[in-house]
Amino acid sequence: MSSESNIEKVDNINSEERVSVASQGQLIWWRFRKHKLAVFSAILLLLLYLTTLFAEFFATSDPLESEAFRGLIQPQPIHFFDEGKLSPHVCAMEGTRDPYTYKKTYKPNCDKKTPVEFFTKGYEYEWLGLIPMDRHLIGVPEGYLAEEHIFLLGTDIQGRDMWSRIWVASRLSLSIGLVGVTLTLIFGISLGGISGFYGGFIDTIIQRIIEIIRAVPTIPLWMALSAAMPFSWSIVQIYFSITLIISLFAWTDLARVVRGRFLSLREEDFVTAAVLSGANERRIIFRHVMPSLYSHIIAAVSLAIPLMIISETALSFLGLGLQAPAISWGTLLQGTQNVQSVALYKWLMIPAFPVVGSILLFNFLGDGLRDAADPYSD
């Protein structure tokens, strides 16, 4: 058989030119696209992260401004029409104190209307900490009293607007996931990779460390570590030490996955082939083993971020993580630590919704990614 005739014989790969030259990334993307729920979640999450950049723009009032006159106001709907005309407004809340229980109750008084404007001027803030701005998506024109404001999701005990606080909190809570995951990735991949690739004594040591870390009960340890943080630290310092503490525990999972993959990839024929053709260790690791890990890493990350978010929320809720005046979903939920709020001020639990929602979205996304991530599985 001459090689000419061979060429003719082998030539029937016309199935799909597009697929033949598709790289790993493209194949993953094609498979991911088919996962409607995951794509939907990805878009929502992307929007969510985008909005955190503009959190103050969405806020209606200064999240830190407390006002005793307006403590614990219930959520207040916007009325869009006034006597048939389009004129968005909210009714002013009038508080009366119950003479027996001393509980303050608010009633909307629709005779006193506060107009609601879009793209209005409001409190001043620095966008991304750099550019001073005072525009907001919705707000109340200047000249109204503090209690004649708009409280879309009510106020907390100190009279701070929940709607605004949730928006601002999302920035810390969502970003802690990303920062934490980056740290986790660095620890997990390097330690897991070393463990799996070199094996032997180093592997045993790293595996024992992982086992010890996983055996430590986390909550007491978190308590100890956060107690060790000096009071004088700024919010930023505390924020980073919290992410560090969380990721110190979270890397073990990823390290195990990476180690397992390294172990099995080391035995793959194509890795052996590369070794036998004279490739050095660096090339084996970065050209052959690591690219085969990307899919696992993507999947691990999409599952690690929600874990980070939950951990931060749990820590802050327990008073071990971020502390007031820092605003995160966890610190907001601290306000619900009593029966009273559960029974009477239900809107204080609203910050739980973005937590649950974002974690669900991450899990849907993770599911889709995991299915799509290994395009060579079948």
Partner 1 sequence: MTTKNKKDDSPILEVTNLKKYFPIQKGIFKKIVGNVRAVDGVDFSINKGETVSLVGESGCGKTTTARCIMRALDPTSGEIKFKTKNNEIIDLSKLSKDEVRPYRDDIQMIFQDPFSSLNPRMTLFDIVGEPLLVNGMKAKKEREERVSEIMHQVGLRPEYMMRFPHAFSGGQRQRIGIARALSINPSLIVADEPVSALDVSVQAQVLNLMMDLQDQLNLTYLFVSHDLSVVSQISDRVIVMYVGKIVESGTPKQIFESPKHPYTSALLSSVPKADPRLRQERIVLKGEVANAADPPSGCTFRTRCPNPTDDCRDGNIEMGLIEVSPGHWVDQCCVNCG
Partner 2 sequence: MTKKNTKIEKQKPILSVNGLKVHFFTDEGTVKAVEGASFDVLAGRTLGIVGESGCGKSVATRSLLRLVDSPGKIVDGEIIYRGDANKKEINITSLKTSGSDIKSIRGGEISLIFQEPMTSFSPVHTVGNQIIEAIKLHKKLNKDDAKGLTLDWFKRVGMPDPEQRMNQYPWQLSGGQRQRAMIAMALCCDPKIVIADEPTTALDVTTQAQILDLLKELQEENGMSIIFITHDLGVIAEISDDVSVMYLGNIVESASVDEIFHSPKHPYTTGLLNSIPSITNKNRERLPTISGSIPHPHNRPSGCTFRNRCQNPSDDCREGKIEMKLIEVSPGHFVDQCCINCG
Residue numbers at the binding site for partner 2 (CB under 8 A): 1, 5, 8-10, 12, 14-15, 34
Stretch that binds partner 1, among 106-114, 225-233, 275-283, 339-347 (CB under 8 A): 275-283
34 binds, among partner 2, partner 1, none (CB under 5 to 8 A by kind): partner 2
Residues 6+ apart with CB under 8 A from 143: none
Burial of residue 362, with CB atoms counted within 10 A of its CB: 0-12 exposed, 13-18 middle, 19 or more buried: buried
14 binds, among partner 2, partner 1, none (CB under 5 to 8 A by kind): partner 2
Cβ neighbour number for residue 69 with a 10 Å cutoff: 13
Q: Which of 99, 132, 278, 325 forms a contact with partner 1 (CB under 8 A)?
A: 278
**Ramachandran angles phi, psi of 48, nearest 5°:** -60, -45
* Backbone region of residue 319 per phi and psi (left: phi > 0; alpha: psi in -120 to 50; beta: other values): left
Q: Based on CB atoms, which residue is closest to partner 2, 33 or 287? A: 33
| Residue 107, both tokens | 């009633």
Task: Please tell me whether residue 268 binds partner 1 under the rule CB under 8 A.
Answer: yes
- The interface with partner 1 within residues 12-51 (CB under 8 A) comprises 13, 15, 19-24, 27
Q: How far is the CB of 40 from partner 2 (least distance, A)?
A: 18
Cβ neighbour number for residue 225 with a 10 Å cutoff: 16
Q: Are 318 and 312 in contact (CB under 8 A)?
A: no
Q: Based on CB atoms, which residue is closest to partner 1, 22 or 39? A: 22
State the Cα–Cα distance between residues 108 and 111, nearest whole angstrom. Answer: 9
Task: Please tell me whether residue 269 binds partner 1 under the rule CB under 8 A.
Answer: yes
Task: Please tell me whether residue 292 binds partner 1 under the rule CB under 8 A.
Answer: yes
State the Cα–Cα distance between residues 334 and 344, nearest whole angstrom. Answer: 16
Give the binding site for partner 1 (CB under 8 A): 1, 3, 6-7, 9-11, 13, 15, 19-24, 27, 268-270, 272-280, 283, 287-288, 291-292, 376
